[in-house]
Chain A
Amino acid sequence: MPAPVITATALTKKYKDFAAVDGIDFEVAPGESFGLLGPNGAGKSTTMRMVGAVSTRTSGDLQILGLDPDQHGPAIRSQLGVVPQSDNLDTELRVRDNLIVYGRYFGLPRSQVATRANELLEFAQLTDRAKGKIDDLSGGMKRRLTIARALINEPRILLLDEPTTGLDPQARHILWDRLFRLKEQGTTLVLTTHYMDEAEQLCDRLVVVDKGRIMAEGAPAALIREYSSREVLEVRFGSERNATVASELAGIGDRLEVLPDRILIYAASGEEALVEVTRRGLEPVTSLVRRSSLEDVFLRLTGRSLVE
């Protein structure tokens, strides 16, 4: 097996007494697409900044491409592409110029940067916007440009912090398509997200993070198998009745989860569970059968939902 490109051991970041990242261990293999899934404030962005060699760790060990970021920050960063949570494109520069100046930071010659900028505008589907203003771009376009900018140095590792947060569904799908292409080309992707569908689409393997700690680790499908049933039946009895009805549902499926607005029944077959619910004379206002997702894994592990 090839040497990992990222190795974190007991990685910790404290702000005064508060541990934002509380001793986490993980490895990322070259070419892998690795995700950190967790709610806001779980410590994902802090972890990303440490991996991005711009935030000094409090304790533990961290190796990026075999180098310690405390000693070789700039050298490590020369091999990374970083897509931060909030866009930091220069609004005083035109679209293409944003790529040019960024390429220069890596010491690339002007001619090479110019060629690369054109290729990346093509990749980001922004060629016709090359001379446009940043403020005139939509949220999805800005995101794509930020990703293009992160690729200007042909990075070995691409770090994406919440890449599609705040985008509409169509823009998200375009972005996922672009990221999927990078993945196919063998770029190592490390991304944080609090969207389970994003994690399922893009990650070969992920860690579920909560309160600065890793709760579980594995491939999305394996995590779902391990921590959830194949299907989930969601039933609603109205917010008043949900809690009282719950006791009458006992024994249906493997497990029940009572949320304020609905009850989740975990079962191998959702349809069969629904038949049993109606047989017991309970009439849900609405019912829905779906496949288990990472959301259910998270709920099982922490007792809370991802998006609050």
Chain B
Amino acid sequence: MTDTAAILESSRQSRRWGAWYVTEHRIRGMRAYRGTLIATAIGTPVLYLFAFGVGLATLITDNVSPVPGVSYLEFVAPALLATAAVLIAMEEYTFGVLLGLKWNPIYVGMNAAPLSPRQIANGVMGFIGIRMFIVVSVYFLVMLVFGATTSGWAVLSIVAGMLGGFAFAAVAAYATTVEEERGQFAILHRTVILPLTLFSGTLFPLTQLPIALQWIGWISPLWHASELGRQFVYGPSEPLWLSVVHVLYLLALGALGWELFVRNLAKRLNK
């Protein structure tokens, strides 16, 4: 074997498994604060499901769904689950990404090794997927404990929630363009994400909003993810084509944001 061929051969493993090495690294990093992670993963669903599904539910006796006999707890649980996935993803897309680029610049180190920006982005997304999966799975288990679902299909609300989280991937692409964090992320959370959690047909049906405001829900990935989750938890409550639209819309946004993230990260790392 010539020297050049040997060099090309030596990077074969990295070229194939690079993204996984990035995910593996982040999982190791997560061990440092696993206590906090476990506490939030369990505490959040218990508090929210209790407050909305049990507390607020006592005030809500009217039908909240076109499907008769659906309790408020059943209605709100899939949306809360999707919201949890989105919030976890948002934390990683914003602070997580800038952490890796600036405050604890591990992406720079990865890029100096044989890993490409695409592999780094994919590995980061893989880690975010794992984090979301853990959080929403716990959410789902707590839902079962609260009796928020009886359907066997309900387990698929985990997938719906994760699709909702991935649909915000463009935020990660945005974070790679931030040089100095001067509260942009907080503004993003307060002016975009928080209102979306309220006006995406999460706590009440979208149809309760004035028609002039319903468009917020139609473009909001959170509405699509919540509605999709509801189909699995107690559905169908909408025509099949609409459920297909939810899936396609979430996948399309996710794929677009992911690709943008890859490109922006490559730009940021290649100075």
Contact = CB atoms under 8 A, between A and B. Distances in A.
A91 B271 contact: no
A72 interface: yes
B271 to A, nearest CB: 6
Given A55-B270, A88-B106, A106 B32 contact: no
Given A66-B3, A72-B8, A101-B24, A107 B13 contact: yes
B269 interface: yes
Contacts of B21: 101, 104-105, 107
A87 to B, nearest CB: 9
B218 interface: no
Contacts of A90: 25, 29, 104, 106, 109
Interface string B90-112: 00000000000000111011111
A76 interface: yes
Given A74-B15, A101-B24, A54 B269 contact: yes
A101 B32 CA distance: 15
A90 B28 CA distance: 11
A80 B104 CA distance: 22
Contact of B104 (A91, A100, A104): A91
B116 interface: yes
A107 B105 contact: no
B61 interface: no
Interface in B6-31: 7-8, 10-18, 21, 24-25, 28-29
Contact of A54 (B10, B14, B111): B111
A78 B112 contact: no
B113 interface: yes
Contact of A78 (B3, B4, B11, B111): B11
Contacts of B13: 106-108
Contacts of B138: none
Interface string A72-115: 11111111101010001111110001001110111110000000
Nearest to B119: A74
Contacts of B116: 73-74
Q: Which of A55, A73, A75 has the most CB of B within 10 A?
A: A75
A67 interface: yes
A49 interface: yes
Contact of A67 (B7, B18, B106): B7
A284 to B, nearest CB: 47
Nearest to B25: A101
B14 to A, nearest CB: 5
B3 A92 contact: no
Contacts of B115: 74, 105
B55 interface: no
B69 interface: no
A52 interface: yes
B18 A105 contact: yes
A76 B271 CA distance: 18
B43 interface: no
Interface residues of A, number: 35
Contact of B7 (A52, A75, A101): A75
Contacts of A93: 28-29, 32
A269 interface: no
Contact of B10 (A55, A79, A84, A104): A79
Contact of B28 (A66, A67, A97): A97
A63 to B, nearest CB: 11
B270 A56 contact: yes
Q: Which of A66, A97, A105 has the most CB of B within 10 A?
A: A105
Q: Which of B105, B106, B112, B269 has the most CB of A within 10 A?
A: B112
A65 B270 contact: no
A77 B114 contact: yes
Contacts of A84: 108-109, 112
Interface in A46-60: 49, 52, 54-56
Q: Which of B29, B108, B109, B271 has the most CB of A within 10 A?
A: B109
B25 A104 contact: yes
B117 to A, nearest CB: 10
A153 to B, nearest CB: 8
Given A97-B28, A107-B17, A65 B7 contact: yes
B7 A76 contact: yes
B113 A105 contact: yes
Nearest to A46: B271
A65 B32 contact: no
A73 B266 CA distance: 13
Interface of A: 49, 52, 54-56, 65-67, 72-80, 82, 84, 88-93, 97, 100-102, 104-108, 153
19 contacts: A66-B4, A72-B8, A74-B15, A77-B112, A78-B10, A78-B11, A78-B114, A80-B112, A82-B112, A84-B112, A88-B106, A90-B25, A101-B28, A102-B109, A105-B18, A105-B114, A105-B115, A106-B13, A153-B113
Interface of B: 3-4, 7-8, 10-18, 21, 24-25, 28-29, 32, 104-106, 108-116, 269-271
Given A65-B7, A66-B4, A79-B7, 7 more contacts: A72-B7, A75-B7, A78-B114, A79-B10, A90-B109, A91-B104, A107-B21
Nearest 7 pairs of A and B residues by beta carbon: A107-B13, A78-B11, A105-B113, A74-B114, A92-B29, A82-B112, A78-B114
